[in-house]
A and B are shown apart, each in its own frame.
Chain A
Amino acid sequence: MATPKAGIHGWGAYIPIYRLPLSDIAKIWGWHPDQYKGLAVESKAIAGPDEDSLTMGYEAAYNAIKRSKIEPKKISAIFFGTESKPYAVKPSATIIGEALGITPFTMASDLEFACRAASEGMRSLIGMAASGLIDYGLAIGSDTAQANPGDVLEFTAASGAAAFVIGRTSNASAIIEDSVTFVTDTPDFWRRASQPYPLHGEGFTGEPAYFYHIENAVKALLERNGLKPSDFDYAIFHQPNGKFPVKVGQDLGFNMDQMKDGLVTPMIGNTYNASALMGLARVLDKAKPGQKILLAPFGSGAGSDAYLITVTDEVENRKPLAPTVEDYLNRKVLIDYASYAKSRSIIHVIK
Chain B
Amino acid sequence: MSMDLSISRFWRKKEIIYKLNGAKCKSCGKVHYPPKNACPYCGSRELELVELPRRGKLISYTTIYAIPEGARHQSPIYYGLIDLGVTKITAELTDIVNANSLKKDMEVEATLRKTQEDRDAGLIYYVLKFRPVLVQK
Give A contacts to B, CB under 8 Å. Answer: 17, 48-52, 54-55, 58-59, 86-87, 95, 98-99, 101, 323, 327-328, 331, 333, 342-343, 345, 349, 351
Contacts and interface: CB of A to CB of B under 8 A. Distances in A.
A328 B95 contact: no
Nearest to A63: B134
A50 B124 contact: no
B3 interface: no
A150 B93 CA distance: 32
A99 B111 contact: no
10 contacts: A17-B95, A50-B129, A52-B114, A55-B114, A55-B126, A59-B111, A86-B124, A98-B18, A99-B19, A323-B135
Nearest to B19: A101
Given A17-B97, A55-B111, A328-B134, 13 more contacts: A49-B74, A50-B94, A51-B114, A52-B124, A55-B113, A55-B114, A98-B14, A99-B14, A99-B18, A101-B19, A327-B134, A349-B72, A351-B117
B70 A51 contact: no
A51 B115 CA distance: 9
Contacts of A99: 14, 18-19, 112, 126
B73 interface: yes
Nearest to A345: B73
B119 interface: yes
A342 B71 CA distance: 12
Contacts of B19: 99, 101
3 closest A-B pairs by beta carbon, nearest first, are A99-B18, A50-B113, A351-B119
Contacts of A101: 19
A51 B135 contact: no
A351 B69 CA distance: 9
Contacts of B74: 49-50
A323 B134 contact: yes
Contacts of B119: 351
Interface string B93-137: 011010000000000000111110101100010100100001100
Contacts of A52: 114, 124
B113 A95 contact: no
Nearest to A330: B134
B112 A58 contact: yes
Contacts of A333: 97
Nearest to A14: B111
A351 B120 contact: yes
Contact of A95 (B72, B95, B126): B126
A351 B18 contact: no
A323 B109 CA distance: 13
Interface string B62-82: 000000001011100000000
B73 A49 contact: yes
Contact of A51 (B14, B18, B72, B113): B113
B115 to A, nearest CB: 7
Given A59-B112, A98-B14, A349 B135 contact: no
Most buried by B among A101, A323, A351: A351
Contacts of B18: 98-99
A94 to B, nearest CB: 11
Contacts of A351: 70, 117, 119-120
